[in-house]
Amino acid sequence: MPVLDAAGRSSAITGAAHGIGAETARALARRGARLALIDRDRTALAQIAEELRAAGCDVTVHPVDLRDDDAVAACATEIETAHPALQSLITCAGSSMLGSLDQLTMEEMRWLMDVNLWGTVSITKALLPALRRSPAAHITHIASIYGIASPAGRIPYSMTKFAVRAFSEALLHELEGTTVTVGTVYPAGVRTGIILHGRYAASIDPGVAGRAAAAQAAMYHMEPADAAERIVRATLQRRPRTLIGGETRLVDALVRLAPVRYWGPMRRPLREAIDTTTPMSPR
């Protein structure tokens, strides 16, 4: 299976305006790639595009809400026109949600599934015909350590990431023998601010939610640029499965050893990050 060369070839990146997506765009730009940047944040998308163009990168921007299938289809048509040699798709777009099942509404959980799963499925389906026309192409879906093990207090987020994992693996099998390969990346905590700027159940006191989010964020050790470099390498090498971070490798081993009882060792380090019920102490 030939590896990919980014220079002069096009890559589409979702969630490209912030965090891992923006750093992935920078990492590919340094390798001479042409880029189709996708995000719903028009202002931030324009800023990263301006930065990359100033560095000599050929960039197109595609503001779109990935929950809108019609808009995604139109976006894919734009990308195919601007990038006839599309070689890779990297799906970094996503959000988070704090809260227990008792605290969350069905609407809140469906919203996250629409963003993290169905947005990933929609853009992948829309761009697959363009990727098939490439002599060699790769799709990289960003899952999570929580797509390997499911902690309490993260039901909707873990559901979406396990679903992305299932989608990726099934698509990998469907495309076996074609020019398109598929890989899933499982990062541990990356310092993107996703947990601090994500959503939480409306029934949770904002102070309590902020405390839990801060506790989770304190466990994130990897810089987005480091994660992006590993994502780009995995894409160009067309890896089917990539674990990023020592925590992910540890949890992966734990789940293999104790597929039913892995939560026992995980509970203690996560106790503050999953606590969305204890009232704030009075000052």
Sequence-distant (6+) residues with CB within 8 A of 176 are none
Distances in Å between the Cα of 212 and the Cα atoms of 17, 51, 59 are 26, 34, 38
d(CA 23, CA 15): 10
- Is residue 148 packed enough to be buried (19+ CB in 10 Å), middle (13-18) or exposed (0-12)? buried
Task: Could you list the beta-strand ranges (E) of the chain.
Answer: 10-14, 34-39, 59-63, 86-91, 97-98, 137-142, 180-187, 199-200, 241-244
Encode 94-130: b = buried (16+ Cβ within 10 Å), e = exposed: bbbbbbbeebbeeebbebbbbbbbbbbbbbbebbbeb
Of the candidates 157, 186, 200, 262, the residue annotated as catalytic is: 157
Question: What are 4's two structure tokens?
Answer: 């990919």
Question: What are 240's two structure tokens?
Answer: 């089917």
Give the number of residues written for the chain: 283
d(CA 110, CA 169): 22
d(CA 41, CA 236): 27
Active site residue 186: no
Q: Which residues are catalytic?
A: 157
